[in-house]
Amino acid sequence: MKKLIIFDLDGTLAESKAALDQEMAALLTNLMKVAKVAIISGGDWPQFEKQVLSNLLGKKSIKNLSILPTCGTKYYQYKKGSWKKLYSEDFTDTERQEIVSKLNEAIDASGIKFRKTWGDQIEDRGSQITFSALGQHAPLDEKKKWDPKYAKRKKIKAILDKTLSGFSVQIGGATSIDITKPGIDKAYGIHKLQHTLEISIKQMIFIGDALFEGGNDHPARTTGADCIQVRDPEETKRVIEGIILCLK
């Protein structure tokens, strides 16, 4: 019997940086009544507050929800009426400087041109540095058509894999690349869930849209947890409905 259902956020529960729609919010609320739920995403805590927490319908089951921002490099639990941060695997100043420098070099070396951007392309999230190709505030329709087959980001990642060998570099979201400390990724987050919640890996399911090699969901496969690849939030909804029926 599965006890913990783990989700990616962007592209899985909602469109990139968009709020949960009403149907998804209702499904997650119902799922939390029959199982524990965790969300691991490249976004930072404020993004979770905006996309997820402000849109959930039922507050009584919130104790069954764990939030792991920045690809599992942070972990929040709801305790005694508020959200508490259990850990944050932050970069040192030296690590930040190295990552930003190598990231800029890789972008230049890739030869990829950006006709227009919306906001900063590089964001320091404390425990993760994220490159958003079109900027942090790019419109969803622009993001969807920029790199749908991941070819552009794979080119940048291939360079970073050589120059930033001491870090984890993963493709995530619609236009982003996430960089974390080595070994601090979604697999790390899943093992933290295992020990904190005292739930075995065999009792977990991970659901995400980037489980392919190089995707930021792919580390979940290395844990031994059952993984379900989805195309988009609409497919995720159907998966959740099936899980609820099985667990009732």
Tell me the pLDDT band of 59, cut-offs 50, 70 and 90: confident
Q: What is the pLDDT of residues 104-144, one digit of tens each?
A: 999 999 999 999 999 999 999 999 999 999 999 999 999 99
Q: What is the pLDDT of residues 7-17, one digit of tens each?
A: 999 999 999 88
pLDDT value for 60: 80
Tell me the pLDDT band of 18, cut-offs 50, 70 and 90: very high
Give the other-Cβ count within 10 Å of 35's Cβ.
21
Tokens 């392309």, residue? 121
φ, ψ dihedrals at 42, nearest 5°: -70, -20
pLDDT value for 175: 95
Task: Read off the pLDDT of each residue in 175-202 and give the average, rounded to a whole number.
Answer: 95
Q: Give the whole-angstrom CA distance, residue 160 versus residue 157.
A: 5
Whether this prediction's pTM lies above 0.85 is answered by yes
Report the candidate in 235, 245, 243 with the shortest Cα–Cα distance to residue 14.
235
Q: What is the pLDDT of residues 77-112, one digit of tens each?
A: 998 889 999 999 999 999 999 999 999 999 999 999
Tell me the pLDDT band of 248, cut-offs 50, 70 and 90: confident
Task: Read off the pLDDT of each residue in 168-183 and give the average, rounded to a whole number.
Answer: 93
pLDDT value for 57: 74
Share of the chain above pLDDT 90, in %: 89
pLDDT greater than 90 at residue 192 = yes
Tell me the pLDDT band of 218, cut-offs 50, 70 and 90: very high
pLDDT value for 173: 86
How much is the mean pLDDT over the chain? 95
233: exposed, middle or buried (C-beta count within 10 Å: 0-12, 13-18, 19+)? buried
The sign of the torsion formed by the CA atoms of 18, 120, 182, 157 equals positive
Task: Read off the pLDDT of each residue in 180-203 and give the average, rounded to a whole number.
Answer: 95
Strands lying side by side in the sheet with 129-132: 122-124, 129-132, 176-180, 168-172
Q: Which residues pair with 169 in a beta bridge?
A: 179
